[in-house]
Amino acid sequence: MPRENSVVQRFLPFISLAALFVILSIVSPYFLTTTNISSVIRQTAVINIMALGMTLVIVSGGIDLSVGSILAFSGVVGTMTMVSTDSVMLGMVVGGLAGTLWGCVNGLMIARLRIPPFIVTLGTLGIVRGLTLVISGGLPVVGLPKEHGFLGEGTIGPAPFVLVVLVACVFVAHFVLHSTKLGRYTYAIGSNEAAAIYAGIPVGRFKVAIYAICGLLTGLAGMIETSRLMTGQPTAGVTYELQVIAAVVIGGGSLTGGEGTVIGTLIGAFIMGLLSNGSDLLGINPYWQQVIIGAVIILAVALDVARKRRFAS
């Protein structure tokens, strides 16, 4: 009996997403249109891709509060490169590298200085945002090459191009977390860091890699954001870290580490996306949207905790 319950509850995020989808299709005639679904995908792609990296970080028992700032930094330096070299490709590479670099910085401070991730990334949240404003002089980067718009707004057949990017990222992230040594160690470190150290795993090195991957994906998300806006905004991504963490948590990630899946996070990000899209379609006051999303986060975690408690006893 308890086992059946746990199966239902394990798939709860997926069931919730499906239910939300069905309900919105029924109550709003605009929901199930190509335009709207494309728009949901475009809107959630940025948060979604960042959340994939955050999944690794959270599974390892860490947290990264600086992702919103890194998104803006990558976007600004990436677009500045594009403007000065007129090369979209080079700009993308620079943006991605910038994100990776900041991830490495976070990881190195966490591993070498042994400062808790919350503190390190709270610090870099401010540092990176400040540097972004310094570099850009507080002004958005404009005059981007037109082709750059394809990343965020282009389509392949009926599908938005970002969907292709997102699916590719999901596959890679899922593979890394569930099939590679890095992924295995990520779970081991998050589950019991001391035991991982005592098993002879060079935990510090792997932590740097984990935060670097999170930075890389954030850099990519930063480039998508600039492509959608066609500017490099130094103020982009403020409070995105909260949405990203929420997506991971709704998808079953545990802030104490050792738990979380890429698929869960994907579902979590879409639940958040649909809630906000659905509220828009139904004309719910944006102020109330925040209330709803906040309540959903708490509800999701409460159900997860209840599931674990029942399973434990």
Residues of this chain that interact with another protein (CB under 8 A) are 1-3, 179-182, 184-185, 187-188, 191-192, 194-202, 258-259, 313
**Min dist. Cβ of residue 193 to another protein (A):** 9
Minimum Å gap between C-beta 10 and another protein is 14
Q: 311 Cβ partners below 8 Å, 6+ apart?
A: 2, 6
Q: Looking at beta carbons only, is 205 or 282 nearer to another protein?
A: 205
The least CB distance from residue 8 to another protein, in Å, is 15
Cβ 234 to another protein shortest distance, Å = 37
- Which CB atom, from 131 or from 188, has the smaller least distance to another protein? 188
> Computed from CA positions of residues 103, 108, 110, 115, in that sequence, does the dihedral angle turn out positive or negative?
negative
Q: What is the largest CA-CA distance in the chain?
A: 64
C-alpha–C-alpha distance, residues 181 and 259, integer Å: 16
- Closer Cβ to another protein, 49 or 59, answer by number: 59
The number of C-alpha atoms within 13 Å of 17 and in the hemisphere containing its C-beta is 18
Neighbours of 134 (CB within 10 A): 10
Rounded Cα distance between 126 and 123, Å, is 6
C-beta of 36 vs 192, nearer to another protein: 192
Give the DSSP H or E segment for 150: helix 149-153
Question: Which CB sits closer to another protein, 32 or 199?
Answer: 199
Please report where in the chains the tokens 């066609």 appear, as a residue: 230
In the numeric block, the tokens 């335009």 are attached to 35
* Least separation in angstroms between CB 172 and another protein: 13
143 vs 202, beta carbon nearer another protein = 202
Least separation in angstroms between residue 191's CB and another protein is 4
For 40, 173, 174, 227, 252, the CA distances from 168, given in Å and listed in that order, are 18, 9, 10, 18, 22
Q: What is the DSSP letter of 159?
A: E
Place of tokens 């992702």: 67
Q: How far is the CB of 180 from another protein (least distance, A)?
A: 5
Helix (H) or strand (E) holding 13, with range, is helix 12-27
Measured CA to CA in angstroms, residue 187 lies from 35, 87, 182 at distances of 39, 39, 9
C-beta closer to another protein: residue 8 or 295 = 8
